[in-house]
């Protein structure tokens, strides 16, 4: 089976509230696709539609080319984590996975494997009701991995994780994608997916606002701004101004250069024989690039809330 999620023209309204307004995107194998947007943008609804839990007014959602409800052992095709707290508090974590394994014809041994994989081997026999949110997220990921599926779909997996857990989750997602799986991860905090996501699907108000590779996005958002440290301030300013750069003094021996890429700055200064001790190109973080992108799509703007 092809490891893809194909979402095409999803529309759904709850009364007069439009939840999905032509949501369309494809998740391809081998990379982590970040599914980001403000709360209420339609991320969770889309994931529920993909899993055949919610119906749509129009459009299709296919996993590996097939509608979810037609899959006989769906957890072997796609592993999903929607709500980590959706478990019976009196049942142990291991038993919570065990019934899911049995529903797919998987042996109990597979349960122990995914418990080890997610670092829950020691607490598997404890009541899941006593788990911290971080442990529940790990349990949810363990459930998603039960059927060793080629497609993974995780809704806000970073919620409730401590810094160590966030690091673990990032590495884990990268590794799963590196194995050739299609991994879709939703988040409303872009910074969580820094260095993890290779592709970005940004949504707002029920539709896709941007569908781009992370590298392209960051390159576009990073302006040609270079920070320069030099003892020969005046000489540097003169040399750079001559080739058209805008130079500003930020500290006693620090300059900010706009309008010239870092490698050109280096060339100009070397040719003019100006000494410098440090040069750094400013690079936008994924968060900054994302904020730039969604400035207009945010459902509730701070100004509106403030009124």
Which residue ranges make up the site for another protein (CB under 8 A)? 48, 51-55, 68-71, 73-75, 80, 82-83, 85-92, 95, 98-100, 102-105, 143
Strands 17-27 and 182-187: unpaired
Least separation, in Å, of the C-beta of 96 and another protein?
A: 8
CA-nearest of 122, 123, 154 to 140 is: 154
Cα 92 to the chain's mean position, in Å?
A: 30
Closest approach, Cβ 109 to another protein, in A, equals 15
User: Helix, strand or coil for residue 248?
Assistant: strand
Report the candidate in 126, 175, 136 with the shortest Cα–Cα distance to residue 159.
Answer: 136
Of residues 105 and 275, the one with the C-beta less far from another protein = 105
- Residues 241 and 58: their CA atoms lie apart, in Å, by 57
Shortest distance in whole angstroms from residue 193 CB to another protein: 24
Q: Indicate the residue among 128 and 240 with the shorter CB distance to another protein.
A: 128
CB of 248 to another protein, least distance (A): 54
Which residue lies nearer to another protein by CB, 140 or 204?
140
CB of 80 to another protein, least distance (A): 6
Residue 307: CB atoms within 10 A of its CB come to 5
Return d(Cα 215, Cα 205) in angstroms, integer.
25
Looking at the Cβ atoms of 67 and 275, the one nearer to another protein is: 67
User: Smaller CB distance to another protein: residue 89 or 130?
Assistant: 89
- Cα gap 114→142, rounded to integer Å: 5
Nearer Cβ to another protein, position 54 or 192?
A: 54
- Nearest approach, Cβ of residue 284 and another protein (Å): 37
Main-chain phi, psi angles of 192, to 5 degrees = -60, -25
Closest CA to 184 of 61, 87, 57: 61
């Amino acid at each position: 089976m092809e490891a893809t999620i194909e979402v095409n023209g999803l529309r759904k309204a709850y009364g007069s509230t439009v939840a999905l307004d032509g949501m369309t995107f494809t998740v391809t194998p081998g990379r982590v696709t970040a599914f980001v947007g403000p709360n209420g943008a339609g991320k969770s609804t889309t994931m529920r539609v993909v899993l055949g839990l919610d119906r749509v007014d129009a459009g299709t959602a296919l996993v590996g080319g097939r509608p979810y409800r037609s899959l006989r052992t769906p957890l072997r095709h796609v592993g999903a984590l929607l709500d980590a707290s959706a478990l019976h508090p009196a049942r142990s974590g291991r038993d919570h996975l065990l019934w899911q394994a049995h529903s797919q014809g998987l042996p109990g041994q597979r349960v122990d494997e995914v418990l080890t994989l997610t670092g829950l081997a020691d607490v598997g026999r404890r009541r899941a009701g006593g788990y911290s949110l971080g442990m529940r997220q790990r349990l949810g990921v363990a459930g998603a991995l039960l059927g060793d599926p080629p497609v993974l779909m995780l809704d806000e997996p970073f919620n409730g994780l401590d810094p160590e857990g966030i690091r673990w989750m990032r590495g884990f997602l990268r590794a799963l994608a590196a194995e050739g799986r299609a991994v879709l991860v939703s988040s409303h905090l872009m910074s969580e997916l820094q260095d993890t996501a290779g592709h970005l699907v940004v949504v707002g108000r029920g539709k896709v606002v941007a569908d781009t590779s992370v590298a392209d996005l960051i390159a576009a958002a990073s302006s040609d701004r270079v920070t320069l440290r030099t003892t020969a301030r005046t000489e540097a300013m003169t040399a750079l101004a001559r080739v058209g750069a805008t130079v500003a003094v930020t500290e006693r021996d620090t300059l900010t250069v706009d309008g010239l890429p870092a490698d050109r700055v280096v060339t100009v200064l070397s040719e003019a024989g100006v000494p410098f001790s440090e040069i750094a190109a400013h690079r936008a973080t994924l968060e900054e690039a994302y904020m730039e992108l969604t400035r207009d799509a945010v459902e509730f703007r701070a100004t509106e809330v403030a009124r």
